[in-house]
Structure 1
Amino acid sequence: MEWLMYVSVAIIAIAFAFLVFYIIQTLQSVKKTLENVSTTVEGMQSQVDGITKESTQLLHKTNQLADDLQHKSDSLNSVFDAAKDLGESFQNMNRSVKKVSNAVSSKADEQSEQVANAVKWGNVVLDFWTKYKAKKAANTTKQNL
């Protein structure tokens, strides 16, 4: 029975050797995988650094653009204020012209009655004058005959 023990120990030793061999291969495989992961992480780190720098530059440019836009907007505010003032001036001028026009129109209406009366009286005087001339001419013709 002693030999059974030697055979058992030999089988255990061989099994242990196979186990160690496969564990070594597995660990080497894990080592290669971890090296690949490490390389990938380093590459990603450099890409993240590049993206961070570009994002920072983009943020600075965006801030500059926003400042420039704000400055230009402030500049345009004065133009719009001037346009508003100009519009109010035109409205005031239109009101003044309308008042003058209404005043002239009402004066013209008042004056038109006076002009109509003057024309009527002028026609009456002209009729009297023509009748007088005709009467005088008739008298002169009678005297000459």
Structure 2
Amino acid sequence: MQIILYLSVALIAIAFLVLVIYLAKTLRSLQGTLTSVSQTLTGLEKQLDGVTSETTLLLQKTNALAEDIQHKSESLNSVVDAVKDVGTTVSKFNGTLKNITNSVDVQVEENKEKISQIVQWSNVLLELKDNWKARKEAKTKISPAEGKKVRAH
């Protein structure tokens, strides 16, 4: 019975030794894997530092661009206001011209008969002027003997 007990203890010791050997191999494999993961994380950390610095620069440029756009937008607002004022002025001017045109049309319509009379009197005056010139030329004659102009008084 003692032999069985020694054999059992020996068997347990051998099983424990095999377990320790496999556990050591697993731990060494795990150590290699963890070393590889550590190196990968170091590389990722360096890349992340590069990305972070580039992101910071990009953010600074974006902020500068946003400020520039804001400044130009404010400048453009004053131009838009000026154009709006010009448009309002032109619109008022057009309204004034329209009112003046309407007023002139109304005055012409109201004074149509007077205008017609003025045109008739103007025609009469022009006719009188032409008749007067014709009489004046008829009174002025050239004398055949003297070759001079003679005026009849």
- TM-score class, shorter-chain normalisation, is 0.7 to 0.9
Alpha carbons of 1:43 and 1:112: their partners in 2 closer, same or farther (altered >3 Å)? Answer: same
Match of 1:99 in 2: 99
Relative to the length of structure 1, the TM-score reads: 0.74
Could you list the runs of 5+ residues in structure 2 that have no partner in the other structure?
125-153
After superposition, residues 15-26 of structure 1 pair within 5 angstroms as 15-26=15-26
**Structure 1 residues without counterparts, runs of 5 or longer:** 126-145
What is residue 85 of structure 1 aligned with on the other side?
Answer: 85
Distance of 2:68 and 2:92 partners within structure 1: 36
Greater fraction helix? 1
Matched, 1:14 2:22: no
SS in 2 for 1:73: helix
CA distance in 1, matches of 2:122, 2:96: 37
Find out whether 1:39 has 2:42 as its counterpart: no
**Matched residues in 1 for 2:121 and 2:82: separation?**
57
Q: CA deviation at 1:71?
A: 0.5
Count of residue correspondences: 124
Superposed CA RMSD in Å reads: 2.3
Percent sequence identity is 48
TM-score by length of 2: 0.70
The aligned residue for residue 53 of structure 1 is 53
Structure 2 distance, partners of 1:118, 1:36, is: 114
Larger relative contact order, structure 1 or 2 (CA cutoff 8 Å, min sep 6): 2
> Does the C-alpha gap of structure 1 residues 84 and 46 become closer, same or farther in structure 2, counting only changes over 3 Å?
same
TM-fit CA distance, 1:41: 1.5
